[in-house]
Chains A and B, each alone.
Chain A
Amino acid sequence: MRRRGQLYLVFILIFSGLVLGQKTPHFYNVDKEIRVEGPIQEINMEPRYVDTSPFLIIKLKDTKTQQMYNIELSPVWFFEQNFYKGEVLVVVGSLYVSGDNNLNIIAREVRFRGETLILRDKHGFPNWRGGKMKRQGRKKGKEF
Chain B
Amino acid sequence: METAFAISRGIMTMMAFPTAKILIGQGLKTELDSRTGMVTTPQIISSKTRKDIVAETPGVKALSDRIEATLETVSVTKPGPIKKRIEVERAEFSRRGTPLLPQRGKRRYHPFPSFKEEKMKKLAFLVLLIMILNPSLMADSFSLSLYQNMTDNLFQNSLVESDQLSSLSFYVDKNLSRFSVFSEGTYSYLYNNPNLTYYLQDVGLDYLHPLNEKSAVYFSLGGRGAFYRSDFSDYNYLAVNFFTAFKSYTSPTSIINVNYSLEYKNYKSSLFDSLSQALLVSFDKYFQTRTTFKGEISWGYKFFLHPFLSQQTPPMTDYPASYKGRGKGRFTGGGYSPFITKPDGDGQGIQVFSLSGLIAQGLGNKIGLNLTGMRQWTLSGENPFTYIQEFYSVENPSYDRFSWFGTQWGSQLTILMPWNIQFKLGYTRTQKEFPGIESLNLEGESSGITREDRRKQVDLRAEKNFPRFSLYLSYYYIMNHSNDPFFEWTGHFFSVGIEWNFLSGGRK
* Chain A residues packing against B (C-beta within 8 Å): 1-3, 5-6, 9, 12-14, 16-18, 20-28, 37, 42-46, 49, 51-54, 75-76, 78-79, 82, 84-90, 106, 111-116, 118, 120-131, 133-135, 139-142, 144
**Best-surrounded residue of B110, B115, B116, B461 (most CB of chain A within 10 A):** B115
- Which stretch from B5-13, B58-66, B136-144, B226-234 is at the chain A interface? B136-144
Q: How far is the CA of A134 from the CA of B147 in the complex (A)?
A: 19
Quick one: which of A26, A122, A123, A139 contacts B499, CB cutoff 8 A?
A: A139
Does the CB pair A3–B368 fall under 8 Å?
A: no
List of B residues within 8 angstroms of A78 by Cβ? 208, 216, 247
List of A residues within 8 angstroms of B495 by Cβ? 141-142
Min CB gap B202→A, angstroms:
8
The 7 closest A-B pairs by CB, nearest first: A130-B180, A85-B252, A17-B142, A84-B286, A28-B507, A113-B368, A114-B414
Return 28 A-B CB contacts under 8 Å, by A number: A9-B115, A13-B170, A16-B132, A18-B142, A18-B502, A21-B504, A26-B508, A37-B365, A43-B252, A44-B213, A44-B214, A84-B254, A84-B286, A85-B252, A106-B507, A114-B362, A114-B422, A118-B465, A127-B141, A129-B171, A129-B180, A130-B182, A131-B220, A133-B218, A134-B204, A139-B499, A142-B393, A144-B478
Does the CB pair A17–B172 fall under 8 Å?
A: yes
B112 proximal to A (CB < 8 A): yes
Min CB gap B85→A, angstroms:
25
Q: Given A13-B131, A120-B507, 11 other A-B contacts at CB below 8 A?
A: A27-B506, A43-B214, A44-B213, A79-B247, A112-B362, A113-B290, A114-B422, A116-B416, A123-B507, A134-B243, A142-B476
Does the CB pair B206–A131 fall under 8 Å?
A: yes
Min CB gap A33→B, angstroms:
12
Q: Knowing A2-B116, A114-B368, say if A130 contacts B503 (CB, 8 Å).
A: no
Min CB gap A24→B, angstroms:
7
Min CB gap A46→B, angstroms:
7
List of B residues within 8 angstroms of A46 by Cβ? 213
List of B residues within 8 angstroms of A131 by Cβ? 173, 180, 182, 184, 202, 204-206, 220, 222
Q: How far is the CA of A84 from the CA of B212 in the complex (A)?
A: 17
List of B residues within 8 angstroms of A140 by Cβ? 461, 463, 472, 474, 497
Does the CB pair A141–B149 fall under 8 Å?
A: yes
Quick one: which of B141, B245, B249 contacts A79, CB cutoff 8 A?
A: B245
List of B residues within 8 angstroms of A52 by Cβ? 175, 177-178, 508
Does the CB pair A133–B252 fall under 8 Å?
A: no
Does the CB pair A5–B27 fall under 8 Å?
A: yes
Does the CB pair A141–B472 fall under 8 Å?
A: yes
List of A residues within 8 angstroms of B161 by Cβ? none
List of B residues within 8 angstroms of A84 by Cβ? 252-255, 286, 292
Min CB gap B400→A, angstroms:
13
B39 proximal to A (CB < 8 A): no
Q: How far is the CA of A118 from the CA of B249 in the complex (A)?
A: 24
Min CB gap B164→A, angstroms:
13
Q: How far is the CA of A37 from the CA of B366 in the complex (A)?
A: 13
Q: Knowing A16-B128, A23-B138, A82-B255, say if A53 contacts B505 (CB, 8 Å).
A: no
Q: How far is the CA of A43 from the CA of B292 in the complex (A)?
A: 17
Q: How far is the CA of A110 from the CA of B368 in the complex (A)?
A: 15
Min CB gap B389→A, angstroms:
14
Does the CB pair B149–A27 fall under 8 Å?
A: no
Q: How far is the CA of A31 from the CA of B433 in the complex (A)?
A: 58
List of A residues within 8 angstroms of B465 by Cβ? 116, 118
Quick one: which of B392, B393, B505 contacts A21, CB cutoff 8 A?
A: B505
Quick one: which of B241, B252, B393, B416 contacts A114, CB cutoff 8 A?
A: B416
**Best-surrounded residue of B245, B422, B505 (most CB of chain A within 10 A):** B505
Q: Knowing A76-B208, A85-B252, A133-B218, say if A20 contacts B131 (CB, 8 Å).
A: yes
Min CB gap B121→A, angstroms:
9
List of A residues within 8 angstroms of B416 by Cβ? 111, 114-116
B420 proximal to A (CB < 8 A): yes
Nearest to A112 among chain B residues (CB) is B365
Does the CB pair A142–B205 fall under 8 Å?
A: no
Does the CB pair A141–B252 fall under 8 Å?
A: no
Quick one: which of A125, A133, A135 contacts B507, CB cutoff 8 A?
A: A125
Does the CB pair B208–A75 fall under 8 Å?
A: yes
Nearest to A124 among chain B residues (CB) is B507
List of A residues within 8 angstroms of B488 by Cβ? none
Nearest to B415 among chain A residues (CB) is A114
List of B residues within 8 angstroms of A18 by Cβ? 142, 502-503
Quick one: which of A20, A28, A54, A90 contacts B365, CB cutoff 8 A?
A: A90
Min CB gap B416→A, angstroms:
5
**Best-surrounded residue of B502, B504, B505 (most CB of chain A within 10 A):** B504
B195 proximal to A (CB < 8 A): no
List of A residues within 8 angstroms of B184 by Cβ? 131, 135
Quick one: which of B127, B147, B175, B467 contacts A130, CB cutoff 8 A?
A: B175
Q: How far is the CA of A28 from the CA of B362 in the complex (A)?
A: 31
B457 proximal to A (CB < 8 A): yes
Does the CB pair B286–A2 fall under 8 Å?
A: no
List of B residues within 8 angstroms of A3 by Cβ? 110
List of A residues within 8 angstroms of B472 by Cβ? 140-141
Q: How far is the CA of A14 from the CA of B220 in the complex (A)?
A: 26
Quick one: which of A22, A27, A86 contacts B253, CB cutoff 8 A?
A: A86
Min CB gap A38→B, angstroms:
11
Min CB gap A37→B, angstroms:
8
Does the CB pair B222–A122 fall under 8 Å?
A: no
Min CB gap A70→B, angstroms:
13
B96 proximal to A (CB < 8 A): no
